[in-house]
């Protein structure tokens, strides 16, 4: 049987130091030179789902209580639940062993049609304000918080989160077809801040600090 190989639509020119096979994906765990941040991290290999139903109250996906209001997010069991509107929630598994898509027809895997990435570090808001007019720093909003709208002129879902020690981060998904242009735009916006690619290990460490 031919071994299936999945490829991320995101490509960085930097040399990988450690690569690990996860499912059918070759995942960069660490790059040869990552620096101290800010970082851009490819998360396209992590499972993601869209849950739609007229009555979301009957669901508790992956033992997570779905947030009650649009824009609210909840991170539990390594899965981030983002309430999009009255009938829809997006679910992103950030770390841990790969979960399977629930059998209920209300769930749809979005891995094959979207790209997912993270921007981490103190400069994340300075980078983001070059690419979107959304107010990611609104002090009235608690984090993690979901934003929906244009980023680099592309319709996106964006979640702002941060650690107690003050390292903020943005998680972003958009249509897979925009991957190359999105990466180019973010790297260009982050050039003055020395934005560099980092691997899954840096992201896992950041997520662990959110708990």
Q: Which residues pair with 40 in a beta bridge?
A: 119, 197
Burial of 91: CB neighbours in 10 Å, binned 0-12, 13-18, 19+: buried
Kindly report the number of other CB atoms within 10 A of residue 132's CB atom: 19
Q: What is the pLDDT of residues 65-114, one digit of tens each?
A: 999 999 999 999 899 999 999 999 999 999 988 899 999 999 999 998 99
Which CATH number does 17-41+113-208 carry? 3.30.1360.120
Domain borders along the chain are: 17-41+113-208, 48-109
Q: What is the pLDDT of residues 104-129, one digit of tens each?
A: 999 999 998 999 999 999 999 999 99
**What pLDDT is attached to residue 165?**
63
How far is Cα 114 from Cα 123, in angstroms, rounded to an integer? 25
**pLDDT greater than 80 at residue 209:** yes
Cis before 2? omega within 30: no
How far is Cα 127 from Cα 48, in angstroms, rounded to an integer? 25
Kindly report the number of other CB atoms within 10 A of residue 15's CB atom: 9
Burial of 30: CB neighbours in 10 Å, binned 0-12, 13-18, 19+: middle
**pLDDT greater than 90 at residue 54:** yes
**What pLDDT is attached to residue 1?**
46
How far is Cα 114 from Cα 54, in angstroms, rounded to an integer? 24
pTM of model > 0.85: yes
DSSP code of 144?
A: S
**What pLDDT is attached to residue 2?**
57
């Amino acid at each position: 049987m031919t071994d299936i190989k999945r490829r991320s639509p995101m490509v960085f020119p930097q040399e990988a130091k450690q690569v690990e096979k996860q499912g059918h994906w070759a995942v960069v765990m660490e790059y040869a030179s990552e620096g101290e941040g800010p970082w851009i991290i490819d998360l396209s290999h992590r499972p993601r789902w869209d849950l739609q139903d007229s009555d979301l109250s009957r669901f508790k996906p992956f033992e997570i209580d779905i947030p009650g209001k649009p824009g609210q997010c909840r991170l539990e069991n390594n899965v981030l639940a983002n309430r999009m509107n009255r009938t829809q929630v997006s679910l992103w598994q950030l770390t841990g062993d790969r979960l399977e898509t629930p059998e209920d027809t209300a769930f749809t895997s979005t891995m094959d049609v979207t790209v997912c990435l993270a921007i981490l570090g103190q400069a994340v808001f300075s980078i983001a304000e070059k690419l979107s007019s959304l107010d990611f720093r609104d002090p009235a909003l608690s984090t993690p918080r979901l934003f929906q709208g244009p980023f680099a002129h592309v319709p996106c879902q964006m979640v702002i989160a941060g650690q107690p020690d003050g390292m903020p981060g943005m998680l972003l998904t958009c249509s897979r077809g925009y991957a190359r242009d999105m990466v180019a735009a973010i790297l260009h916006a982050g050039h003055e801040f020395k934005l560099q690619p980092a691997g899954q290990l840096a992201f896992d460490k950041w997520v662990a600090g959110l708990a």
